[in-house]
């Protein structure tokens, strides 16, 4: 079985093409206190149907160490108080912010929330250095998706203004 991975980037905050507002209100809130349990929940709840497995064996200590690094942020979209999706930003490489993980919980797929949540995550990626004194201003925001992810993922990234710069097949 062939797995195709697309790497995408945005090199200017002006390149963001915002999605239209969703029909239902979404509060996008930063999880400011590192919580291995909450991050593990989001990772498993969103990634379960897309075969996200690399972090499943992580211990609580490994999660905590990862989440406590300066420049790592988790942003959660809530609909009427219920987590609907999340984005993990990783700004630990100077001048870059990786959209390390992004997605919706199953009950919220198909409700027009993905584009909005991605728009908000990208806006926060470009301003990450404002929240982390000492980190470089980002010169690019990037990420990747693959054929194991949602079939609409790549299109959402491209509609928000990301451009594919590399494709790999394994």
Neighbours of 163 (CB within 10 A): 11
Q: Which long-range contacts (CB under 8 A, 24 or more apart) does 88-95 make?
A: 88/39, 89/121, 89/124, 89/125, 89/128, 91/125, 91/128, 91/129, 91/132, 91/135, 91/138, 94/135, 94/136, 95/136, 95/137, 95/138, 95/139, 95/140
Domain that holds residue 26: 4-144+151-157+164-169
Q: Give the integer Cα–Cα distance in Å for 120 and 156.
A: 13
Quick one: which of 7, 3, 4 has its CA closest to 157? 7
The 3-state DSSP class for residue 145 equals: strand
In tens digits, the chain (170 residues) has pLDDT values of 899 999 999 999 999 999 999 999 999 999 999 999 999 999 999 999 999 999 999 999 999 999 999 999 999 999 999 999 999 999 999 999 999 999 999 999 999 999 999 999 999 999 999 999 999 999 999 999 999 999 999 999 999 999 999 999 99
Q: How many structural domains does the chain have?
A: 1
Give the CATH number for residue 98: 3.40.630.30
């Amino acid at each position: 079985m062939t797995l195709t991975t697309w790497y995408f980037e945005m090199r200017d905050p002006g390149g963001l093409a915002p999605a239209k507002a969703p029909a239902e209100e979404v509060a996008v809130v930063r999880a400011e206190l590192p919580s291995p349990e909450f991050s593990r929940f989001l990772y498993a709840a969103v990634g379960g149907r897309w075969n996200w497995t690399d972090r499943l064996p992580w211990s609580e200590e490994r999660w905590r160490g990862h989440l406590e690094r300066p420049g790592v942020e988790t942003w959660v979209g809530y609909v009427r108080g219920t987590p609907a999706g999340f984005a993990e930003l990783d700004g630990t490489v100077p001048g870059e912010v990786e959209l390390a993980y992004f997605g919706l919980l199953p009950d919220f797929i198909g409700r027009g929330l993905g584009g909005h949540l991605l728009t908000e995550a990208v806006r926060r990626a470009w301003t990450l250095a404002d929240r982390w004194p000492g980190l470089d201003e980002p010169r690019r925001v990037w990420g990747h998706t693959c054929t194991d992810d949602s079939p609409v993922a790549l299109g959402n990234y491209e509609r928000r203004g990301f451009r594919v710069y590399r494709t790999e097949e394994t």
